[in-house]
């Protein structure tokens, strides 16, 4: 049930031979993502449970879920970019139905993230689901 953008990302990952290449690609995705304006980096958009600072700003329009995000850590910023590919453009009521663990597992992220990063990723997914449920 992944978006086309996420499917393209999964295909890219298939061509990357080792985790270091994948890690570098995730960082590049984060670098390419537009930064979130400082005015939006407030407690209301901050994700609790992340070792790094992470902010997620939902933008729900015509029943479609989108979000923008940012982090002060390069790899986490890249993970936010990966999550935008997984969730952006999905009907808001379908967001909680996405099996993020399974989809991200296709990229091999979980087995290469530290426990803290994995907890942060889980917190981001929970926050995205909460934002979507609140909007339904």
**Structural domain spans, the chain:** 4-135
Is 90 in a helix, a strand, or coil? strand
The span from the CA of 56 to the CA of 45, in Å, is 5
Element (H, E) at 105: helix 100-105
pTM value?
A: 0.94
Asked if 88 contacts 67 with a C-beta cutoff of 8 angstroms, the reply is yes
Is the pLDDT score of 1 beyond 70? no
Query: Hey, which residues are catalytic here?
Result: 50
Of 37-41, 80-84, 103-107, minimum mean pLDDT range? 103-107
The span from the CA of 112 to the CA of 126, in Å, is 20
Is the pLDDT score of 132 beyond 90? yes
Confidence category of residue 136, pLDDT binned at 50, 70, 90: confident
pLDDT of residue 115: 82
Architecture of domain 4-135: Alpha-Beta Complex (3.90)
Q: What is the mean pLDDT of residues 102-107?
A: 90
Angle formed at CA 37 by CA 132 and CA 104, multiple of 5 degrees: 45
């Amino acid at each position: 049930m992944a978006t086309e953008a996420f499917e393209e990302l999964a295909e890219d990952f298939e061509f990357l031979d080792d985790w270091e290449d994948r890690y570098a690609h995730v960082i590049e995705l984060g670098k390419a993502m537009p930064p979130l304006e400082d005015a939006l980096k407030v407690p209301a958009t901050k994700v609790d449970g992340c070792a790094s600072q992470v902010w997620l700003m939902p933008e729900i329009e015509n029943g479609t879920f989108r979000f923008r995000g940012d982090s002060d850590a390069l790899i986490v910023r890249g993970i936010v970019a990966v999550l935008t590919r997984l969730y952006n453009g999905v009907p808001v009521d379908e967001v909680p139905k996405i099996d993020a663990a399974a989809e991200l597992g296709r990229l091999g992220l979980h087995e290469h993230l530290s426990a803290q990063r994995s907890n942060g990723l889980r917190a981001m997914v929970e926050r995205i689901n909460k934002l979507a449920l609140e909007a339904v």
